[in-house]
Amino acid sequence: MIRPRFGTLRGLVRLAFSYPQLFLGLGAGRPVDPATVRRLVFVCQGNICRSAFAEAAARRAGLRAASLGLSTTPGRPAHPPAITAAQALGHDLQAHRATDLIDYQPQPGDLLLAMEVRQLGRLAADPRLRDVPRALLGRWTRPMMPHLHDPYGLDDRYMARCLARIDRAVARLALSFPGARLS
């Protein structure tokens, strides 16, 4: 039950700890005025599974989107199991190439959407991003899941479930941030 739903026991534990972190304000991110958001920027560790998929889902939904990894090899393709799971959901990750945080150029109207509370901390520590609004993508999942555990190297059922959660969250983002829609 743990593997297909949460990836690993560690994923379940991190999810459990993320709720109090969120309610204590540690996962709150930086406040955002929905009217000012023009682009959704998805952030994860390697930019080859979660954030890559979220960007593809957002673009397919007609939103301005980008993605990046906090620690990745620039130009790396999407993880093959993520490509397969994305295809099952109707998304194509074949052309995706990873972008590292160092190569990200903030634009006015960006909203950074991290997958984990600790990633928000990394973003907050970067002086270039101090004024860029940020939030947890999991705030748009139902039920809310402030920690979307990394599916890299885990079982295919969890990869599929994780990407499906992200897909549904992106659909809710589209309603929350109409200014990110392509004209």
Give the whole-angstrom CA distance, residue 183 versus residue 104: 23
pTM reported for the whole predicted model? 0.93
Residue 56 tokens, joined: 């593809």
Give the whole-angstrom CA distance, residue 165 versus residue 144: 10
Give the whole-angstrom CA distance, residue 129 versus residue 101: 10
Q: What letter represents residue 56's amino acid?
A: A
Note the pLDDT tens digit of each residue in 28-52: 566 789 999 999 999 999 999 999 9
Give the whole-angstrom CA distance, residue 140 versus residue 110: 17
Q: What letter represents residue 115's amino acid?
A: M
Q: Are 159 and 85 in contact (CB under 8 A)?
A: yes
What domains can you pick out in the chain, each with its CATH number? Answer: 37-180 (3.40.50.2300)
- Residue 165: what are its φ and ψ, rounded to 5°? -60, -45
Give the whole-angstrom CA distance, residue 14 versus residue 123: 19
Note the pLDDT tens digit of each residue in 68-127: 999 999 999 999 999 999 999 999 999 999 999 999 999 999 999 999 999 998 998 999
Cβ-count burial 4-43 (b if 16+ within 10 Å, e if not): eebbbeebbebbeebeebbeeebbbbbebeeeebbbbbbb
Residue 42 tokens, joined: 């998805």
